Structure 1
Amino acid sequence: QGYLNSTTLFIVFDVTDLYTMIPRDGAIAALTRFCEKNAIHGKIGTLQISTVIQLACVVLDTNSFAYKDKYYRQIKGGAMGSPFTMVLANIYMLEWEQKLIQHQNINHGIYGRYIDDVFMTSNLSKEEILKLLDETTQTDSNIKITTTISQTLDYLDVTIENNNGNLKTCIYHKSASEPYILPYSSDH
Structure 2
Amino acid sequence: MEESASTMVSAAWRIRADPGSNPGLTLLAFTPSSSMPSYRILHHTDHYDAKTLIGALEIVMRNNIIKFGDVYVKQISGTAMGVPPAPSWANLYEALHEREFLPAWQPHLPLYKRHLDDIIILWNPTSDDESINVAEWTAFKDEVNSIDGLTWEFTELDESVDFMDITVSIAGDRLRTTL
Q: TM-score w.r.t. structure 2 length?
A: 0.69
CA pair 127-161 structure 1, distance change in 2 beyond 3 A = farther
3-state secondary structure, aligned to 1:16: strand
1:129: which partner in 2? 137
Distance (whole Å) between structure 1 residues aligned to residue 135 and residue 85 of structure 2: 37
8 Å Cα contact 2:64-2:74 kept in structure 1? yes
CA pair 70-113 structure 1, distance change in 2 beyond 3 A = same
| 2:95 aligned partner, one-letter code | L
1:175: which partner in 2? none
8 Å Cα contact 2:105-2:140 kept in structure 1? no
CA pair 111-35 structure 1, distance change in 2 beyond 3 A = farther
1:153: which partner in 2? 160
Structure 1 position 87, deviation (Å): 0.7
2:37: which partner in 1? 22
| 1:15 aligned partner, one-letter code | S
| 1:58 aligned partner, one-letter code | I
Structure 1 position 138, deviation (Å): 1.4
Q: TM-score w.r.t. structure 1 length?
A: 0.67
1:167 equivalent to 2:171? Answer no
Distance (whole Å) between structure 2 residues aligned to residue 92 and residue 70 of structure 1: 30
1:12 equivalent to 2:30? Answer yes
3-state secondary structure, aligned to 1:15: strand
CA pair 149-126 structure 1, distance change in 2 beyond 3 A = farther
CA pair 100-151 structure 1, distance change in 2 beyond 3 A = farther
Structure 1 position 33, deviation (Å): 4.0
Distance (whole Å) between structure 1 residues aligned to residue 155 and residue 97 of structure 2: 19
**Equivalences, count:** 153
Distance (whole Å) between structure 2 residues aligned to residue 50 and residue 25 of structure 1: 14
CA pair 127-149 structure 1, distance change in 2 beyond 3 A = farther
Distance (whole Å) between structure 1 residues aligned to residue 46 and residue 96 of structure 2: 9
CA pair 93-170 structure 1, distance change in 2 beyond 3 A = closer
8 Å Cα contact 2:144-2:152 kept in structure 1? no
| 2:151 aligned partner, one-letter code | K
3-state secondary structure, aligned to 2:120: strand
What runs of 5+ residues in structure 2 fail to find an aligned partner?
A: 1-16, 126-132
Structure 1 position 61, deviation (Å): 2.2
What runs of 5+ residues in structure 1 fail to find an aligned partner?
A: 37-41, 43-48, 173-188
8 Å Cα contact 2:159-2:170 kept in structure 1? yes
8 Å Cα contact 1:99-1:136 kept in structure 2? no
Distance (whole Å) between structure 1 residues aligned to residue 66 and residue 109 of structure 2: 45
1:58: which partner in 2? 59
Offset from partner CA, 1:27-49 (integer Å, 9 cap, x none): 4x4xx44992xxxxx4xxxxxx2
Distance (whole Å) between structure 2 residues aligned to residue 51 and residue 62 of structure 1: 17
Structure 1 position 133, deviation (Å): 0.8
